[in-house]
Structure 1
Amino acid sequence: MGNQEAVQAYLNQIASAAEVEDGTTLAALLKIGDDHARQLNGALQAAHGSVVENAVRRRLNEQWAEVVWGHLRVLRALEGSGRSASASSPKRSTSVEDEAGIVRAAELQNTVAQAFHQVFTNQTRWCLPVLYAVDGDLRALSIEADTYLQRTGQKAGRLEDAARSMNKAFSYCVTDRFSPADKSRKWGTYHIVNLLFRIYFRLQQTNLCPTILRSISAGDLPGLERFPIADQLSFKYHVGVLAFYNENYKKADEDLSFALWHCHAQLKKKGASSRLVKNRLLILNYLVPARFILGILPHPTLLTKYPALNYLYGNFVTAIKRGDIKLFDQSLYDLQRDLIDRGTYLTVERARALAVRKLFKKVWILNGSSSRIQMTQFQKALHLAGAEATLDDVGCMLANMIDKGYLKGYVSYEKQMVVTAKEDPFPSIQRLAIS
């Protein structure tokens, strides 16, 4: 097939899919990793740009022509950059000039997304696969472009540009008030929200997420349970992490547990693919320390199954169980960088109070479960555990435990002792979390 014939055949496929509202086929024809990219490669490189553009504009209406011509320009930019658009035949860039082409491709993909979003406002649910393909490629190319720009000491920002464009797509989904319920663009809301959340998390701009959540609440959407399970899982993961960051550990536990359970169901259903296993680890990274605060420690088999999880949290579990302050503090010091990188350092640090509580409970037991214990007894226990503390420090620890409900009683600073409740002075942390 000649170059012109290849381009014309492609355009005929586009026109046919749009005419019959075949969103799945149209999405593939506008996705950079699809086979058509490889098939059109020679034609796009050989033909003059104006010749291809004229062919596009003759065959398609104005709006779709903008989208398709933009897409073909993206393919040319990717092939010219040394990075093949076809997933089946990737190539590596060979020079800085070649790599810079990825920035151009990301910019062009943004124009494709903007052009498609204008088309999208007049379409219904059938067009959602196209939206996912176009905006998904926009996110991926923007990340790649920013990586290149940062590596070469240039100002990044393509991903922020992509987020602004996708925000329009989100708005077009959530505010669709005229399409019939079963054909509404609202059915694409959570997929686009998840794309936006992934961008905001990567850019460390999670402060923008609450605005999205408020729009969802006001959007009169179908219940989340009616959306595809992949959209539910991803959404629950993101809102669970947001709750974790806001120290709302009950909600974090609820949402992350939902994501973990359904991820586990997907694993059993589809087989243990590396992507799903990775997703499960991402969820557990936040769920395990969130449950520390709720008094729930992971089962040993979980840590055995996931060595990376055991590396991060195994010693803290042991320290909390034993009241081993020295082990806790040393582990916190050794793993500081890893925990900061994963966004869990502050929560794990807060869990130190549980190790202190366990140690103090041992002191209470060794004192015959007496309701009156001298503060020096706790100070000695801390010393033996490798944590030096003044009596004022001990008083603060005890007061904090009482304030959190970890210990029932009061501190008598005048007599330098703690007076505990006679019944259940160390109530279950889990019961406290539920109440």
Structure 2
Amino acid sequence: MEFHSLNQYLQEVSTALDECDGEALASFVSFKDPHIANSKLQRDDPEGSCQRYLESPYDKLFAAHVKACFSVASHNFKDAHGYQVLAIQSFVKAFQLQKDENWALPIMYALILDLRTFANNADRELQRTGKGKKGDMLEKAADTVMSCFRVCASDGRSSIEVSKKWGMLFLVNQLFKIYFRFYVGRKAMFDSDYKMADDYLTFAFENCHRNCKKNLRMIMTYLVPVKMLLGNLPPQELLERHNLTHFGAVAQSVRTGNVQLLDKTLETHETFFIKTGVYLILEKLRAVVLRTLFKKVTELLKTHQVPLQAFQDALEMQGLADIDMDETECIVAGLIYSGNIKGYISHQHKKLVVSKVNPFPPIAALS
């Protein structure tokens, strides 16, 4: 339908409200409908007109929608997201007052679909300008979706035909798409993109409901190894809170450079680590543990020309009794190649010559 004025649009909205026509009202708030491109509906001051045609809280809902149309036309998705949130908040006020009826569900569907789109666009806009953190807008979107979910879930007395609970499946699907970042983060971990994995898994953890203990533990199962590979070791209290003490000894081995402890822990909890898919990820921590061990040896000897024999002796003290000089040299060469050590091997003198400036770079700088 083509509208020749804002007043005509609001009159059609008023008629649809009187008739409880959820499908028509859904098209009137949808950004997939052609009306959003109508310049006559792109206003930043529609409140007065909305109040003349519509009762509260629908006047606020459609005022927010018109202002969102104005923001989208101006390519300002942060403001559009904000107005969409206001529109949904007004809708929720009206929706929860409706008893034994669910004709407004199509309106909710349209509002939530556009909210997620705006949140994604706003996140990209804020990141591009350096004014926001990844996921900020999606986090707010998830909170808004949950406000609708609570209204639907609390409708326990209505008959099935008019129950608002029909909307729960749609809302769960939208929340899944928002929290899909967990699965993206896990894939990034397996692809060895640990910084990306950290971003997505951290977002999933911070936005997971605090009462969803099982989900929190599942996210942490992958986030903890990623954090350790980036040089951030988890506090024991955090591991105990989520029943993930399997990682405690792993963190201790990284902290102290104890290769023997790492091997023993991987063996002891092998079934759990393999089942969750993190065993090979934890194996990569061996280089970090060796780096810590060799750093301690270097600091103990207080020289930038460290005999390779000293490293071999340290490895033997860790229980690696069958290691020889060639293997030791290969380990040191691998650490140099991966950036864990800044230096070179003097084959003639059987020594590791380390840089006098930051010879063991921070782990976070390597990923």
- Normalising by the residue count of structure 2, what TM-score does the alignment of the two structures yield? 0.54
Structure 1 contact 233–258 (Cα < 8 Å) conserved: no
Tell me the secondary structure at the aligned position of residue 228 of structure 1.
Answer: helix
Match of 1:399 among 306, 319, 333: 333
* Distance apart, 1:232 and its partner CA: 5.9
Please state how far the C-alpha of 1:417 moved relative to its aligned partner.
Answer: 1.3
In the alignment, is the contact (CA less than 8 A) between 2:204 and 2:219 conserved in 1?
yes
Q: 1:360: Cα distance to partner?
A: 0.7
Match of residue 299 from structure 1: 235
1:277 pairs with 2:210: no
Measure the CA separation in 1 of the matches of 2:106 and 2:22.
10
CA distance in structure 2 between the partners assigned to 1:304 and 1:184 by the alignment: 37
Q: Is the 8 A contact 1:316 1:331 kept in 2?
A: yes
Structure-1 residue corresponding to 2:75? none
Give the Cα separation in 2 of the matches to 1:371 and 1:188: 55
Identity, in percent, stands at: 32
Q: Distance in 2 between matches of 1:378 and 1:247?
A: 28
1:412 alignment partner in structure 2: 346
Query: Are the equivalent residues in 2 in contact too, given 1:233–1:262 (CA < 8 A)?
Result: no
Amino acid at match of 1:258: F
Give the Å deviation of 1:188: 8.2
How far has the Cα of 1:300 moved from its partner?
Answer: 2.3
Deviation at 1:408, TM superposition (A): 0.7
Length, aligned pairs only:
221
C-alpha distance 128-352 of structure 1, shift in aligned 2 (>3 A): farther
Q: Who is 1:254 aligned against?
A: 199
Match of 2:308 in 1: 375
Is 1:342 the equivalent of 2:276? yes
CA shift, 1:430, in A, is 2.1
* Unmatched runs of 5 consecutive residues or more in structure 2: 1-19, 25-104, 118-136, 144-174
Residue of structure 1 equivalent to 2:68: none
Q: Aligned partners of 1:351 and 1:245: how far apart in 2?
A: 14
Flag the 1:128–1:391 CA change in 2: closer, same or farther, 3 A: farther
CA RMSD of aligned residues (A): 3.0
- CA deviations 1:67-113 (Å, max 9, x no partner) are xxxxxxxxxxxxxxxxxxxxxxxxxxxxxxxxxxxxxxxxxxxxxxx
Q: Distance in 1 between matches of 2:241 and 2:112?
A: 43
In the alignment, is residue 329 of structure 1 matched against residue 266 of structure 2?
no
| 1:317 aligned residue (251, 255, 278) | 251
Select the structure with the greater relative contact order (CA < 8 A; seq sep ≥ 6): 2
**Separation of aligned partners in 1, 2:244 and 2:192:** 21
1:57-136 to 2 correspondence within 5 Å? 126=106
Select the residue among 332, 343, 364 that pairs with 2:298: 364
Deviation per residue, 1:369-425 (Å, 9 max, x gap): x11111111000000011232212211211121122211101122322110001221
- Give distance in 2, aligned partners of 1:430 and 1:244: 15
Verify the 8 A CA contact 2:116 2:138 in the aligned structure 1.
no
Structure 1 counterpart of 2:318? 385
Cα offsets for 1:266-324 (capped at 9, x unmatched): 32xxxxx3xx1111111110010011111110022212323x311x2111111111111
Pairwise CA distance, 1:234: 1.9
Specify the code of the residue in structure 2 equivalent to 1:290.
Answer: V
CA apart distance, 1:326: 0.8
Distance 1:231 1:387, change over 3 A: same
Gaps (5+ residues) in structure 1? 1-17, 23-124, 130-181, 190-222, 268-272
> Which residue does 1:205 correspond to in 2?
none
Contact 2:22/2:107 (<8 A) preserved: no
Change in CA separation of 1:374 and 1:242 when aligned onto 2, cut-off 3 Å: same
Amino acid at match of 1:349: E
For normalisation by structure 1, the TM-score amounts to: 0.46
